[in-house]
Amino acid sequence: MVFNTGAALLDAIVLAVVSKEPEGTYGYKITQDVRQIIELSESTLYPVLRRLQKDECLEVYDMECAGRNRRYYKVTSRGWAQLQLYESEWRNYSQKINLLFERKI
């Protein structure tokens, strides 16, 4: 992609992906789901997850899977509010850009 993906957009995408799983989801699956939308490495994803956790948008818990612990991420109430804000801002922003590209402004 020729457009730079800033921190806020990465946060929005990750929150949207994690929100699809009511009980939460784990890092590798998040990476795979995000990669269906944008190119993203695990080394880029984990700082985003840590930032969202620090901002209390995600809660983290561990669960055993095949004899190993797997770290799960789940959207908090604060995360849901932030996701709604991102969705609203994105609709407004993308609508303006689309109008510009369609030569209507």
Query: Does 16 reside within a domain?
Result: yes
Q: Which of 73, 42, 80 is nearest to 58 (CA)?
A: 73
For the entire predicted model, the pTM comes to: 0.89
> How many distinct structural domains can be found in the chain?
1
- The CATH code of the domain that includes 56 is 1.10.10.10
Tell me: the pLDDT tens digits for 3-56? 777 899 999 999 999 999 989 999 999 999 999 999 888 888 999 999 999 999
Residue 21 lies in a domain: yes
Q: Which domain holds residue 69?
A: 7-101
Residue 2 lies in a domain: no
Q: Is the pLDDT of residue 66 over 70?
A: yes
Question: Is the model's pLDDT at 72 over the cut of 70?
Answer: yes
Q: Is residue 34 part of a domain?
A: yes
Judge whether 19 and 11 are in contact, CB under 8 Å: no
